[in-house]
Amino acid sequence: MSEAVASAPVPHRIDVSKRGVTIEDTLLESVTVSALTDVLGAPRVVEPPVNEHNVRTANTVYFWDAAGVSAYSRDQETLSSFVILLDADEKPEWRQRQPHHAFAGQVTLNGRAPLRAVSKKHLRSGRFMQEAQIGDWHVLLMLRARVRDHYQNRSIHERIEAESSGEIAAYLLAHESPVWEVSVSYEPVRKSTGKWKHEPFSGETLSFDSLAFRYAVIHELMYVQQALLPKFDVFDFAADQGPRSFDPGENSGKIIPAVKSWFQKLPVPAELARRVESLYLDGGNEIYLQLAPQWDGEDDRYRIRSISDEELAQLPRLKKVEDIGGFLSPAARKKLLARGVEVTD
């Protein structure tokens, strides 16, 4: 471990924008150990232990103590992240080391208070770790314990009400200093490859009045027979949306709007209709898990309430529907039976 005293003036302003990180009036388009040293002076260095193969087992940690800034690097130059400490007293049990002093100035994201850059969805949740994406910079904002205690010590019912009403978000935005630490890392937003964009189709396509019935037919063609390709994968789709990429696991069991739209707009060639001889309706069908990865099967969102004569006329070879999940309404079941389609539970 080496000790060093910062030779540069302590900064009073740090801003993260799409252009880079600005410390006082110096814009850093890439943040490295060298770049921070040029601005903040020589750091205190804590080197990680090495194993029997003389390989470092963790990041080297750099502390600019007077500035309240620390950074982590595997190769002693490229940073995995750099951290701005806003409150030296807010030291969690898992934090072994931090700068000797807190940053005494103002931290902004795109020139605004940090929480103003957080999405409304995340802010309403009141999570102890808020996050924002500023261009290619990923920012984590740690909320002070006393700020979180304001709403986390409530009953579950009261907490849910505070989230849904926007009370928590309003409280956080109104608080004078809700954040005790800001962590910044360079994580370029993955650009969309366009692989999930529907190609123009000039032929005849199947038309559906019932979206739930459309799902059933697409499941048979895409996931059972693999005749309708590409086979949709919600996790690859979500990661390939460029700036609109998202985590499918955060939809709380609801149908993901972008996925619903993708299946609604998917051209289903009429020539594939002859392949549909049976349909299997069950809550575990792959298409339902693509639409809502965390769906618990406890509601009737995929219930087929009606089927028109026009829809069935497109599927002349449909002879059997196995309704294991109880997705057919009495009216839909009656329509199938009237068309000579066998229906089983």
- pLDDT higher than 70, residue 224: yes
Question: Which is higher by pLDDT, 49 or 66?
Answer: 66
- pLDDT higher than 60, residue 7: no
Whole-prediction pTM value? Answer: 0.62
Range list of β-strands (E), 216-314: 278-281
- pLDDT higher than 70, residue 1: no
Question: Which is higher by pLDDT, 249 or 233?
Answer: 233
Q: What is the pLDDT of residue 6?
A: 44
Report whether 345 contacts 247 (CB < 8 A): no
Alpha carbons 274 and 101: distance in angstroms, whole number: 72
**Structural Rg of the chain based on CA atoms:** 28
Kindly report, residue by residue over 257-308, the tens digit of the pLDDT: 999 999 999 999 999 999 999 999 999 999 999 999 999 888 999 999 999 9
Q: What is the pLDDT of residue 57?
A: 63
Alpha carbons 183 and 70: distance in angstroms, whole number: 9
Average pLDDT over residues 171-196: 91
Please name which of 330, 336, 326, 320 lies closest in space to residue 302, comparing C-alpha atoms.
326
Report whether 338 contacts 296 (CB < 8 A): no
Q: Kindly report the length of the chain.
A: 345
Q: What is the pLDDT of residue 142?
A: 95
Strands 69-73 and 60-64, sheet pairing: antiparallel
Q: What is the mean pLDDT of the chain?
A: 91
Candidate from 50-59, 104-113, 135-144 with smallest mean pLDDT: 50-59
Kindly report, residue by residue over 72-112, the tens digit of the pLDDT: 998 999 998 999 999 988 877 777 789 999 999 999 999 99
